[in-house]
Amino acid sequence: MEKLHGSKNASGLAPTLEFEKAALGRGFKNIAGVDEAGRGPLAGPVVVAAVILGEDWNADHPLDDSKRLSAQKREHLFDLVCNEALAFKIVSISPQEIDRLNILQATLFGMSRCLTEIVPAPDYAFVDGNHYPQTTIPGEAVIKGDSRSKSIAAASILAKVTRDRIMLENAERYPEWGFESHKGYPTKRHREALAKFGLTPLHRKSFRLKALQLSLL
């Protein structure tokens, strides 16, 4: 496994299919992009997605890093990817699993599951970040991959939209914590809720010290 280093395009250019084309040129066929959403929050799951766009993917579809898209645009592209990609797989890793494994290992576990469970099986993968999961599938970790590879960008959209939906559902169960606005990230409102109401079953107990420290800021 090799790592490709780089930074987000300063010019704001959208990701391309150059990584995928290079892999196709080396004889690979089913090329997956993998990304996650939710490594940083104090509460909620980490969600991982894998997407195989396929050789028939329309390169004009405006895929981009999910963080640079509006919620409305992400929802539209979520449906587009699910309908037109060759294959996709989404895995949610619970706060309990995050506590058991730690957030990095939980994320890598989710990536490995996605690559194992997506059908058809990928023969190469591009994974966002600087860690590649333990898997027999060859591939590369691509730093800032969600702004460089369309496959990874597609995965980032599926992961982000899925996680946001989960947090919106939980906002109805735990209205005092305001999950509908911050999605579990350590915002001022979230810190104030932690100080007043404590932790919910949705909170990552391994982040308890961090949560308590933030509540005092």
Stated pTM of the model? 0.91
Range of the domain at 152: 2-173
pLDDT at position 208 is 62
Domain count, the chain: 1
pLDDT, tens digit (0-9, with 9 covering 90-100), for 111-149: 999 999 999 999 999 999 999 999 999 999 999 999 999
Does any domain span residue 48?
Answer: yes
- DSSP secondary structure string for all residues of the chain: -EEE-----TT-PPPBSHHHHHHHHTT--SEEEEEEE-SS-SBS-EEEEEEE--TT--TTS----GGGS-HHHHHHHHHHHHHHSSEEEEEEE-HHHHHHH-HHHHHHHHHHHHHHHSSSPPSEEEEESS---S-SS-EEEETTGGGTBHHHHHHHHHHHHHHHHHHHHHHHHSGGG-HHHHTTS--HHHHHHHHHH---TTB-GGGHHHHHHHHT-
Does any domain span residue 188?
Answer: no
Does any domain span residue 101?
Answer: yes
pLDDT at position 14 is 83
pLDDT at position 8 is 44
Does any domain span residue 40?
Answer: yes
Low-confidence ranges of the chain (pLDDT < 70): 1-12, 208-217
CATH of the domain at 114: 3.30.420.10
Does any domain span residue 200?
Answer: no
pLDDT at position 11 is 44
pLDDT at position 101 is 96
Does any domain span residue 110?
Answer: yes
pLDDT, tens digit (0-9, with 9 covering 90-100), for 161-186: 999 999 999 999 999 999 999 999 99
Does any domain span residue 182?
Answer: no
Does any domain span residue 195?
Answer: no
